[in-house]
Amino acid sequence: MTAAIRVLIVDDHPVVRDGLRGIFAGDADFEVVGEAADGAEALVQAGQQPVDVVLMDLRMPGMGGVEAITRLRVEFPATHVLVLTTYDTDRDVLPAIEAGATGYLLKDSPRADLLQGVRAAHAGRPVLAPSVASRLMGLVAGAEQRPAAVTALSPRELEVLRLVAAGSANREIARRLFISEATVKTHLLHLYDKLGVRERAAAVAVAYQRHLLD
């Protein structure tokens, strides 16, 4: 049997935490291993037991979501963070993605989308709510291009990036491009370096900003 995905819920509203716990309780693929009311408590919880995916609110008293994401990615690099918040403004979306969030969903997402988003985050695949994806496209429309400051991606790196943006895992990318998973990882490392990011979701966001993706 496949081990259940271990989820940590981080939100300053107890009723929200209770509701999310109830959603996961009905699916054997998930196990809620803890709850936290702010980022600082999330770091403590993540240090007390293995956590696969942190479901992270952004605006909380004390340590907010973006700072917590940054700390989690440094201290627990094997743990993925999926933002679940009410806000999809520019000042919320980009800092969270740049801090290392694997995905960004809104609290009005259907239950099925939330569960699928956690599964995708656990696999390291970027997941964005439709309005967040539209927000990124809006930023692209108003962004200034600075090609001299950007190291060009190779054609193969662009192919890999397009498949990442489509939600493909490394194994699927390797199958589609007829290359090994190790080669996929090498291409990812190279394009991360060229884009100045550390995560798949951040690579997709920056690629949209720089008009590398349609």
What's the pLDDT band for 137 if we cut at 50, 70, 90? low
Q: Report the mean per-residue pLDDT for the chain.
A: 86
Residues 6+ apart with CB under 8 A from 187: 156, 157, 160
The predicted structure's pLDDT at residue 58: 92
* pLDDT at residue 139, rounded to an integer: 55
According to the model, what pLDDT value does residue 74 have?
87
Instruction: Give the tens place of pLDDT for each residue, 35-68.
Output: 999 999 999 999 999 999 999 999 998 899 999 9
User: Would the pLDDT of 209 be above 90?
Assistant: no
Q: In the chain, what are the domains?
A: 5-137 (3.40.50.2300), 144-209 (1.10.10.10)
